[in-house]
């Protein structure tokens, strides 16, 4: 079995996955939308004028990368439990001094 290349190794690196995710304008827009206040997927979809399915997919990715979390649940008029999401990060720094990028995530201090 051959030794994996740097590119193959990077595919499994969480830093690489976060950087790739944040390079997507939609992901950044969703993350910024929930930085100062928690919102549900419908609110985000309407605010950003993107499809609800794209919002759900983006929120799922952000949750898996621990960049966003369910802040609270609200109950709709119909009695449905609705998740409200909030960004866990307030600022990101990416430094490219060598082949391997350095990623610094700062916590979201917005209340």
pTM of the predicted model as reported, rounded to 2 decimal places: 0.81
Residue 24 domain-assigned? yes
Residue 3 domain-assigned? no
Q: What average pLDDT score do residues 13-20 get?
A: 87
Residue 21 domain-assigned? yes
Distance CA 55, CA 44 (A): 7
Residue 85 domain-assigned? yes
The predicted structure's pLDDT at residue 100: 79
Q: Which of 8-17, 47-56, 90-99 has the lowest mean pLDDT?
A: 8-17
Question: What are the tens digits of pLDDT across the range 42-55?
Answer: 999 999 999 999 99
The CATH number assigned to the domain holding 102 equals 1.10.10.10
Range of the domain at 15: 11-107
For the chain, the C-alpha Rg in angstroms (whole number) is 16
Residue 2 domain-assigned? no
Residue 5 domain-assigned? no
The total domain count for the chain is: 1
């Amino acid at each position: 079995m051959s030794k994996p290349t740097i590119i193959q190794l990077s595919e499994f690196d969480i830093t690489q996955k976060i950087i790739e995710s944040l390079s997507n304008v939609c992901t950044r827009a969703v993350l910024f939308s929930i930085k100062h206040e928690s919102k549900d997927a419908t609110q985000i979809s309407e605010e950003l004028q993107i499809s609800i399915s794209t919002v759900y997919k983006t929120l799922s990715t952000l949750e898996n990368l621990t960049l966003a979390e369910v802040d609270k649940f609200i109950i709709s008029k119909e009695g449905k439990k609705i998740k409200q999401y909030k960004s866990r990060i307030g600022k990101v720094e990416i430094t490219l001094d060598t082949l391997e990028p350095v990623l610094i995530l700062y916590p979201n201090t917005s209340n």
